[in-house]
């Protein structure tokens, strides 16, 4: 009779550790085990979410191939990581409140979680901005002959994209710092001495602010645009990249010339495609006075009429200078853009020199020496 109650108590006591529900309840009542269980469930749920998300992305990519595959695939690629981070943040928020809401580390994790949310949202907004600009920039074709409007819009949109992205980064970092009480108090104390601090910062960042303002001015006034043909520092090249602080010029021999944006505001330079891509090119020849210019003009007409890089506007030869031993001829030819005109000038120069060599071999610039004969006394 005395053994039965003891046996029942033993069974009840043992069942608390054997039965699954009682065992889980006992583990959940202990903080270290609850945290470990929460972390394990969070990792498993994150893995499941990642697999499902990858499957959804694959389906969207297959569907994007039907219409505008390049644009849609680009948009999906730049948005998929920030969206995944946002989903993981939501999942972490749920498990944090479910498993560790009454633990000492909860407030610290929530602060970190909030910062991650702010960074993720900022990242997502930047990606959306880039996707938006990419979508519209993809509609611009700068490879046509008359691409002035396309290059104007491309330059303006590129600079405004940089301005918007930089503004978002500053705002996001500011919000992150304001989540810390210590930084917030420091910010209040700085505001009380804003007069002195403003003067110091203004002098320290004077050149940086001027550079950024110059970038904005270039975006509005557009003295240069992307793909413009320019001559800077004695180098011929094309504008390859324009940012808020510097400009990259691609030199004809594949070198890159990096210049601050203030250069194009403060110093003179040549822009061959400021208003139109059409251009006149010159070829100079130095020939003897005996060479008939009309014959050379006729040969020039024959050359350009069958040349694919001549636009049909200008083809002429003029005597622009005379020296003691030769006369200077300037050949003018026109093309739709600078690259075509360069090739046209090279071909014209070669063929005109061959024409002179074959038909008037003695008419290149030369020095005459006259021998004087004197009668002997």
Location of structure tokens 């050379």: 296
The number of beta carbons lying within 10 Å of the beta carbon of residue 51 is 10
Q: Would you place residue 333 in the very low, low, confident or very high pLDDT band (cuts 50, 70, 90)?
A: very high
Determine what percent of the chain is predicted with pLDDT higher than 90.
17
Q: What pTM, to 2 d.p., does this model score?
A: 0.51
The number of beta carbons lying within 10 Å of the beta carbon of residue 288 is 16
The number of beta carbons lying within 10 Å of the beta carbon of residue 2 is 5
Between CA 153 and CA 225 the distance in angstroms is 9
- All domains of the chain in start order, with CATH: 15-139 (no CATH), 151-273 (2.30.30.60), 279-359 (3.30.70.100)
Angstrom distances, CA of residue 108 to CA of 101, 179, 180 = 11, 12, 11
Question: Which residues pair with residue 334 across a beta bridge?
Answer: 280
Q: Would you place residue 368 in the very low, low, confident or very high pLDDT band (cuts 50, 70, 90)?
A: low
**pLDDT the model gives residue 14:** 45
E strand or H helix at 335: strand 327-335
E strand or H helix at 259: strand 256-260
Q: Would you place residue 11 in the very low, low, confident or very high pLDDT band (cuts 50, 70, 90)?
A: very low
**pLDDT the model gives residue 169:** 84
Residues 6+ apart with CB under 8 A from 15: 22
- Degrees to nearest 5, angle at CA 334 with 331 and 338: 110
Dihedral angle, C-alpha 65, 69, 75, 81, nearest 10 °: 50
CB burial of residue 342 (10 Å; 0-12, 13-18, 19+): middle
Alpha helices in 138-270 (DSSP H): 148-178, 181-192, 194-204, 206-221, 263-266
**pLDDT tens across 299-312, in order?**
999 999 989 999 88
Mean pLDDT, the chain, as a whole number? 75
225 and 208 Cβ atoms separated by less than 8 Å: no
Query: Among the listed ranges 33-47, 88-102, 340-354, which one has the minimum average pLDDT value?
Result: 88-102
Q: Does position 343 have pLDDT exceeding 80, yes or no? A: yes
Of 83, 94, 91, 93, nearest to 53 by C-alpha is 83
* Full strand arrangement of the beta sheet holding 235-242: 256-260, 246-251, 235-242, 229-232, 270-271
**pLDDT tens across 119-163, in order?**
878 888 888 888 787 777 777 766 665 666 677 777 777 778 888
Of 130, 52, 131, 111, nearest to 87 by C-alpha is 52
Q: Does position 12 have pLDDT exceeding 60, yes or no? A: no
CB burial of residue 95 (10 Å; 0-12, 13-18, 19+): middle
Angstrom distances, CA of residue 157 to CA of 23, 57, 161, 162, 166 = 62, 29, 6, 9, 14
SS3 labels along 45-93: HHHHHHHHHHHHHHHHHHHHCCCCHHHHHHHHHHHHHHHHHHHHHHHHH
Residues 6+ apart with CB under 8 A from 107: none
Once rounded to an integer, what is the mean pLDDT over residues 73-92? 72
Q: Does position 234 have pLDDT exceeding 80, yes or no? A: yes
């Amino acid at each position: 009779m005395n053994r039965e109650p003891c046996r029942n108590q033993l069974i009840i006591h043992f069942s608390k550790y054997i039965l699954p529900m009682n065992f889980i309840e006992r583990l959940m009542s202990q903080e270290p085990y609850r945290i470990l269980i929460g972390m394990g469930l969070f990792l498993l749920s994150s893995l499941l979410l990642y697999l499902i998300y990858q499957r959804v992305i694959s389906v969207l990519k297959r569907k994007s191939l039907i219409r505008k595959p390049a644009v849609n695939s680009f948009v999906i690629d730049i948005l998929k990581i920030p969206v995944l981070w946002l989903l993981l943040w939501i999942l972490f928020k749920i498990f944090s409140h479910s498993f560790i809401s009454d633990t000492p580390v909860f407030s610290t994790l929530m602060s970190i979680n909030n910062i991650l949310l702010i960074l993720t949202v900022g990242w997502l907004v930047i990606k959306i901005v880039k996707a938006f600009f990419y979508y519209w920039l993809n509609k611009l074709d700068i490879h046509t002959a008359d691409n002035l409007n396309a290059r104007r819009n491309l330059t303006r949109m590129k600079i405004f994209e940089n301005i918007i992205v930089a503004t978002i980064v500053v705002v996001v970092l500011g919000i992150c710092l304001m989540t810390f009480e210590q930084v917030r108090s420091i910010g209040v104390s700085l505001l009380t001495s804003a007069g002195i601090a403003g003067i110091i910062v203004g002098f320290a960042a004077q050149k940086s602010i001027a550079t950024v303002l110059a970038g904005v001015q270039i975006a509005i006034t557009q003295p240069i645009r992307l793909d413009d043909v320019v001559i800077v520092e004695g180098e011929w090249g094309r504008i390859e990249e324009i940012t808020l602080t510097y400009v990259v010029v691609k030199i004809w021999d594949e070198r890159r010339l990096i210049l601050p944006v203030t250069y194009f505001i403060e110093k003179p330079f040549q822009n061959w495609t400021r208003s139109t891509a059409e251009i006149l090119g010159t070829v100079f020849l130095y020939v003897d006075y005996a060479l008939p210019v009309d014959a050379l003009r006729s040969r020039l007409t024959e050359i350009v009429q069958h040349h694919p890089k001549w636009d049909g506007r200008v083809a002429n030869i003029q005597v622009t200078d005379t020296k003691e031993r030769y006369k200077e001829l300037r050949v003018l030819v026109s093309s739709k853009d600078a690259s075509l005109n360069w090739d046209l000038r090279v071909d014209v120069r070669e063929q005109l020199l061959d024409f002179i060599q074959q038909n008037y071999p003695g008419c290149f610039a030369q020095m005459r020496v006259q021998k004087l004969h004197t009668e002997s006394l």
